[in-house]
Amino acid sequence: MSEYVFLNGKRVENPHESHHHISPVIVYVAVFAALLVLTGLTYAVSFANLGPGSLPVAMLVATMKASLVVAFFMHLAYEDRFYLFMFLTSLVLIALFFGFVLFDVNAAGALNDEQAVGVPRLEEGLKASETAPVAGEVEAPAPDAGH
Amino acid sequence: MSSSNASNERPAWVAHHFDTAGQQVSSAKLGMWLFLATEALMFSGLFLAYFLIRKLHPDMVLVASEELNKAYGGVNTVVLIFSSFTMALGVRAAQVGNQKSLERNLMITIACAFIFMGVKYIEYSAKIHHGLLPWNFFDMEKAAHHSAALASFEYTPMFFGIYFTMTGLHGLHVVIGIGVLTWILIRARRREFTPDNYVAVENVGLYWHIVDLVWIFLFPLLYLVK
């Protein structure tokens, strides 16, 4: 056996001591109750007619529920912080992924217009395909001989 | 390092390539959290697709989401949260060495997973009955007969595409969860877990909690758009 023992990159002073955190049952019951209350809140939000505000509010409540599950059911509040670091890294990557794609979808049309690049916007492309047959009918009467 | 203390004895369940039991346990957890991170990344692609569809066709998503049964969705949410609760209690039972409680909580968790899939079966059957299927399988005639508002949007099949893909991938995770929970239950019945050696129970618990986490976001996004 080597002289030092390392766990997740850190040297451990007493490698043979086991130290599991055991939460009292009441913590799990409290978290379960909080999750039920927040589920009720999610329901209430959907009937509150918040309009465009309903999506961020619903996501906020869902994030609160997720945080409770991760911290207490998944023990991340008591674990070596290295696991939290790894999990948060994946969330940072997701934020980058969402951020760049949504920025592109929001801004690409305007930027292309500005530079006079002939790339149809996604929305306009879809609208154009919907209205195409109508436009054809309007123009049809003039060059009738073509038929 | 010449102590001959009893705690220095190497338990039989520690694999030869680990220095200590703690190192084996933390390696197992490290691998599990890495896997959970990739799970989050995998689902994030589908969530982004959903957000784009909702952004491009907000009215269609609003009308189409009204087709989903909020009561069934709500029941399944409570079932999954409850199963996460019993799973957490099961891991605690393994920590304190309460064999009976461990087996009971694992069985309740598995039962909840079956209830979830049963409700999902009822929901899917109704959608299939009304022709509300993804993309090319979408039956516009049946859908129009069911609800004129649904058929007035050209891109309704897109909503059911993302609905079936997201809940389908989540349902696959629930089915796999039933499998791994059953495996852990069998091992628990063989008395393989002790208060020092229970990381397999804990890791399967982590997997089950991430299944619950995904549903926590899926439920308001798909069922409660308004």
Q: Do the Cβ atoms of A7 and B26 come within 8 Å?
A: yes
CA B89 – CA B108 distance, rounded (Å): 11
Residue B221, min C-alpha distance to chain A (Å):
8
**A 3-42 near B (Cβ less than 8 A):** 3, 5-8, 12, 15-18, 20, 22-23, 25, 28-29, 31-32, 35-36, 39, 42
Q: Do the Cβ atoms of B34 and A25 come within 8 Å?
A: no
Residue A76 pLDDT exceeds 50? yes
Q: Which residue of A has its CA nearest to B58?
A: A52
- B73 pLDDT band (50/70/90 cuts)? very high
CA A127 – CA B94 distance, rounded (Å): 59
Q: Domain containing B206 — which CATH number?
A: 1.20.120.80
Residue B14 pLDDT exceeds 70? yes
Range with the poorest average pLDDT among A17-31, B2-16, B187-201, B210-224: B2-16
Let me know the angle formed at the C-alpha of B196 by A79 and A74, rounded to the nearest 5 degrees.
30
CA B11 – CA B30 distance, rounded (Å): 21
β-strand pairing of A5-7 with A10-12: antiparallel
Tokens of A107: 């801004």
Let me know the angle formed at the C-alpha of B183 by B179 and B184, rounded to the nearest 5 degrees.
120
Tokens of B55: 């952004």
Residue A130, min C-alpha distance to chain B (Å):
9
In the DSSP assignment, the letter for residue A97 is H
CA A62 – CA B89 distance, rounded (Å): 22
* Tokens 């009561």, located at residue: B71
User: Does B173 fall in a domain?
Assistant: yes
Percent of chain B's residues with pLDDT above 90:
68
User: Does B26 fall in a domain?
Assistant: no
CA B59 – CA B63 distance, rounded (Å): 6
User: Does B21 fall in a domain?
Assistant: no
- Mean pLDDT of the region B122-135: 89
Res B124: pLDDT: 94
- Mean pLDDT of the region A24-47: 93
Contacts of residue B167, Cβ cutoff 8 Å, sequence gap at least 6 = B120, B218, B222
User: Does B67 fall in a domain?
Assistant: yes
Residue-wise pLDDT for B79-92, tens only, equals 999 999 999 999 99
- A141 pLDDT band (50/70/90 cuts)? very low
User: Does B4 fall in a domain?
Assistant: no
- The total of other beta-carbon atoms located within 10 Å of residue A123's CB is 13
Res A75: pLDDT: 93
User: Does B15 fall in a domain?
Assistant: no
Residue A5 pLDDT exceeds 80? no
Tokens of A5: 């023992």
Q: Do the Cβ atoms of B216 and A65 come within 8 Å?
A: yes
Q: Which of B41, B51, B74 sits opposite A90 (nearest CB)?
A: B41
Contacts of residue A34 in chain B, CB cutoff 8 Å?
Answer: none
Name beta bridge partners: A11.
Answer: A6
Q: Which of A16, A25, A65 sits opposite B8 (nearest CB)?
A: A16
CB < 8 Å & 24+ apart, contacts of B145-152: B147/B67, B149/B63, B150/B63, B150/B64, B150/B67, B152/B63
Strand stretches in chain A, DSSP E: 5-7, 10-12
SS (H, E, C) B103-122: HHHHHHHHHHHHHHHHHHHH
Residue-wise pLDDT for B161-218, tens only, equals 999 999 999 999 999 999 999 999 999 999 999 998 999 999 999 999 999 999 999 9
Are the CB atoms for A76 and B88 separated by under 8 Å?
A: no
Res B89: pLDDT: 97
- A47 pLDDT band (50/70/90 cuts)? confident
Res B85: pLDDT: 97
Question: What is the number of domains present in chain B?
Answer: 1
Q: Mutate which of B3, B25, B32, B85 to test chain A, going by most A C-beta atoms within 10 A?
A: B85
Residue B219 pLDDT exceeds 80? yes
Q: Mutate which of A7, A87, A122 to test chain B, going by most B C-beta atoms within 10 A?
A: A7
Q: Mutate which of A22, A26, A35 to test chain B, going by most B C-beta atoms within 10 A?
A: A35
Q: Cα-flanking dihedrals φ and ψ of residue B194, to 5°? A: -130, 170
User: Does B202 fall in a domain?
Assistant: yes
- In single-letter form, the type of residue at position B67 comes to E
Are the CB atoms for B57 and B161 separated by under 8 Å?
A: no
Cβ–Cβ contact A78 with B under 8 A: no
Contacts of residue A97 in chain B, CB cutoff 8 Å?
Answer: 44-45, 48
Torsion of CA B28, B33, B39, B44, to 10 degrees: -170
* Tokens 């023990």, located at residue: A75
- A52 pLDDT band (50/70/90 cuts)? confident
Residue-wise pLDDT for A103-139, tens only, equals 988 887 777 778 777 665 555 555 555 554 444 444 4
Res B86: pLDDT: 98
Contacts of residue A62 in chain B, CB cutoff 8 Å?
Answer: 216-217, 219-220
Distances (CA, A) of B185 to B32, B37, B129: 19, 25, 37
Residue A61 pLDDT exceeds 90? yes
User: Does B10 fall in a domain?
Assistant: no
Res B189: pLDDT: 96
**What is the rounded average pLDDT for all residues in chain B?**
91
Residue A145 pLDDT exceeds 70? no
- In single-letter form, the type of residue at position A76 comes to L
Q: Do the Cβ atoms of B221 and A58 come within 8 Å?
A: yes
Q: Mutate which of A20, A50, A88, A129 to test chain B, going by most B C-beta atoms within 10 A?
A: A20
Residue A71 pLDDT exceeds 90? yes
- A17 pLDDT band (50/70/90 cuts)? low
Tokens of B128: 């299939």
Cβ–Cβ contact A103 with B under 8 A: no
CA A143 – CA B141 distance, rounded (Å): 36
Tokens of B147: 């609800």
Structure-model confidence comparison of residues B204 and B144, the more confident one: B204
Structure-model confidence comparison of residues B107 and A121, the more confident one: B107
Q: Which structural domain range is residue B120 located in?
A: 43-223
Q: Which of A22, A89, A122 sits opposite B92 (nearest CB)?
A: A22
Distances (CA, A) of A93 to A71, A97, A99, B63: 20, 6, 10, 32
Transcribe B153-208 into DSSP letters.
-TTHHHHHHHHHHHHHHHHHHHHHHHHHHHHHHHHHHTT---SSS-HHHHHHHHHH
Torsion of CA A64, A65, A67, A68, to 10 degrees: 120
